[in-house]
Amino acid sequence: MPWFRKKRTGPIIQPARDVPDGLWAKCEACGEILYIKELARALWVCPKCGYHFRIGARDYVDILLDEGSFEELDVSVRSADPLTFFDSKNYTDRIKAAQEKTELNEAVICGIGEIESIPVSCSFMEFRFIGGSMGSALGEKITRAIERALERQIPLVIVSASGGARMQESILSLMQMAKTSTALTRLADAKLPFISVLTHPTTAGVMASYASLGDIIIAEPAALLGFAGPRVIQQTIGQELPEGFQSAEFFLEHGFVDLISVRGELKNNIATLLGYMYEPTSAK
Ligand SMILES: [Zn+2]
């Protein structure tokens, strides 16, 4: 069985941007012992079997954008706690802990940059920030990124990684599905391209809104994609689910994903597609 058909149980390590010397990691898929520096150079893809380790939002900035081209915007947009929500702890404490852990204000970083000299409005989600969940602040940042593409007449690229809507914001987080989707309709009306990149995992409210609305949808190999979890679906429809259900490969076979791209070719693939879809003469 190829590794991407096996059930993923999550990443072995959460790669840090500053990689320490002399550390080794074991590939969860093939068991190969890997030197972490080498693994980082290979963009956190196992050189033996091709397993894609999960990486962070800032890693994708480095991988996809031309060096030095990224200008981060809307940094100050951050979550409030309108419902004074408490689960096992206060939502405000949860946000603070996530901010400290990730050194980000929200579960997404947005801005403008260039991909092979093509200007783009771009957003990169961070799964380590409360599971990349979509609250009001994240929805606002994504919407501003869409509006920025419109204002500047440039393409939009969003790299998603999310467990879905942020339950601590209840209906306010669900509203972000409509808000981001509506903004994307205006982008489509303006005939500006939107490339959606799905990484492991992209699920629930994010998958059911902007992540699945790309003109082109690209997924990383073996990314878990879907709306509800398999057990919930199985209980609802009362049927066994097919093997490999909810993998990027299954989605490709069924026409929901347009392309599966290994991480090392992601930038080149996006640049090539944007070259077909976008005429930069109108860029401001
Ligand atoms: Zn491996």
Distance 1 CA to ligand 1 centre (A): 13
Q: Write the DSSP assignment of the chain as a string of letters.
A: --GGGSPP---S----SSPPTT-EEE-TTT--EEEHHHHHHTTTB-TTT--B----HHHHHHHHSPTT--EEE-TT-----TT--BSSSBHHHHHHHHHHHHS-SSSEEEEEEEETTEEEEEEEE-TTTGGG-B-HHHHHHHHHHHHHHHHHT--EEEEEEE--B-GGGHHHHHHHHHHHHHHHHHHHHTT--EEEEEEEEEEHHHHTTGGG--SEEEE-TT-BEESS-HHHHHHHHTSPPPTTTTBHHHHHHTTS-SEE--HHHHHHHHHHHHHHH--GGG--
d(CA 116, CA 133): 30
Residues with CB under 5 A from ligand 1 (ion): 27, 29-30, 32, 46, 48-49, 51
Distance 45 CA to ligand 1 centre (A): 8
Q: Across residues 214-225, what is the average pLDDT? A: 95
pLDDT of residue 12: 42
| In the chain, where the domains are located | 1-53, 54-282
CB atoms within 10 A of CB 55: 25
Distance 266 CA to ligand 1 centre (A): 19
Predicted TM-score of the model (pTM): 0.90
pLDDT of residue 110: 98
> Is the distance from CB of 224 to CB of 201 less than 8 angstroms?
yes
Distance 34 CA to ligand 1 centre (A): 9
pLDDT of residue 20: 52
Distance 209 CA to ligand 1 centre (A): 32
Distance 133 CA to ligand 1 centre (A): 28
* pLDDT, tens digit, 9 for 90 and up, residues 158-210: 999 999 999 999 999 999 999 999 999 999 999 999 999 999 999 999 999 99
Please determine, for residue 284, whether its predicted confidence score (pLDDT) is greater than 60.
Answer: no
* pLDDT, tens digit, 9 for 90 and up, residues 67-126: 999 999 999 999 999 999 998 999 999 999 999 999 999 999 999 999 999 999 999 999
User: Which CATH number is 54-282's, of 3.40.50.620, 1.20.120.140, 3.40.950.10, 3.90.226.10?
Assistant: 3.90.226.10
Distance 141 CA to ligand 1 centre (A): 35
What's CA 15's distance to the chain center, in Å?
16
Contacts of 33 (CB under 8 A, 6+ apart): 24, 25, 26, 27
Q: What residues form DSSP beta bridges with 259?
A: 218
Distance 273 CA to ligand 1 centre (A): 29
Distance 236 CA to ligand 1 centre (A): 35
Distance 67 CA to ligand 1 centre (A): 29
Please determine, for residue 57, whether its predicted confidence score (pLDDT) is greater than 70.
Answer: yes
pLDDT of residue 76: 95
